[in-house]
Amino acid sequence: MQKILLGPAGSAGLGNEEGLRKCKELGMEAMEIEFTYGVRMKNDEAKRIGEIAKELGISLSVHAPYYINLNSIDWKKVEASKKRILDSCERAHYLGARYVVFHPGFYGKESAEKTYQTVKEAIADMQQAIAKNKWDVILCPETTGKIKQFGDLDELIRMSNETGCGVCIDFSHLKARYQGKLDFDDACEKIKHIKNKTGHFSGIEYTDAGEKKHIITKESEIKELFSYLKKHSISIRVVNESPDPWGDCIKSRKIKEAMGI
């Protein structure tokens, strides 16, 4: 049976506990814990928040800090990036959050293939650390919205096939990356075969270089996405990253219910 879980990115300033309770109140089933500027949550706190989420029936994911580049020419920056992701994985384990989302990095002056191999090596290294620590989490590199960023859909599907990692499909990023010419049928046919996946969605502004900023999600865009997810019977978490994630989640829930998903 198809299942689409909806929820916000972050708690909009309420704090994680109150954010979870508001999710429940508004009929949401998911929330993403954001470590935007650093992993400052302690393991004890993560465990407490995870227990509340479990009690409320809210599916958690984690977004690692934004300052990550696994393809930097400076090896110290690569190691620091890996540490930020692994710190996020440790907290995710105690939170009971299955998916750890992160932006993999930039092509820089390297070819797409060289960048792919460098990122793949870093993911393999982190997976070894995850296994060693017995953390029950899955790395999910995210599809990215800027042309200069590593992470188009085909790259990450290949990465998933070759390393066993998951994928975070950011549908708004793909729209920006492909200049509004995202073929939903083609994308969904590929996405449906990814074993471990989570998703992001919002409105988005973009230029020739790709993503500019997230904006409020139009009802027509929500209906478009959900119609394709329904058509291809894709079950996925859809985390909203707009400036008003609560409002957009409520709109999304009403549309999802009206469509019988």
Which residues in the chain land under pLDDT 70?
none
In eight-state DSSP terms, residue 71 is T
Say what the pLDDT of residue 12 is.
87
- Cα 49 to Cα 16: distance, rounded to the nearest angstrom: 7
Task: Please tell me the distance from the alpha carbon of residue 168 to that of residue 186, in angstroms, as a whole number.
Answer: 17
DSSP notation for 18-31: HHHHHHHHTT--EE
Q: Which helix (H) or strand (E) holds 159?
A: helix 153-163
Using CA atoms, how far apart are residues 103 and 99, in angstroms rounded to an integer? 13
**SS3 of residue 157 by DSSP:** helix
- Burial of 250: CB neighbours in 10 Å, binned 0-12, 13-18, 19+: middle
* Radius of gyration for the alpha carbons in the chain, expressed in angstroms and rounded: 17
Q: Which amino acid is at 58?
A: I
What's the pLDDT score for residue 34? Answer: 96
Chain centroid to CA 3: how far?
17
Which tokens hold the place of 226?
A: 């959900």
Per residue in 86-139, pLDDT (tens digit) is 999 999 999 999 999 999 999 999 999 999 999 999 999 999 999 999 999 999
Q: Which residues contact 164 (CB under 8 A, 6 or more apart)?
A: 127
227's CB contacts (< 8 A; 6+ apart) are 259
Total domain count, the chain:
1
Amino acid at 24: K
Separation CA 10–CA 223 (nearest Å): 23
Contact 78, 122 (CB under 8 A): yes
State both tokens at 256: 């999802």
Residue type, 42: K
Tell me how far apart the terminal alpha carbons of the chain are, to the nearest angstrom. 9
**Residue 77 structural domain:** 4-258
Q: Residue 226 belongs to what H/E stretch?
A: helix 219-231
Q: Kindly state the tokens that stand for 194.
A: 């990814």
The CATH number given to whatever domain includes residue 107 is 3.20.20.150
Residues 6 or more apart whose Cβ sits within 8 Å of residue 45: none
Q: How far is CA 250 from CA 23, 127, 199, in A?
A: 10, 36, 17
Q: What is the pLDDT of residue 109?
A: 95
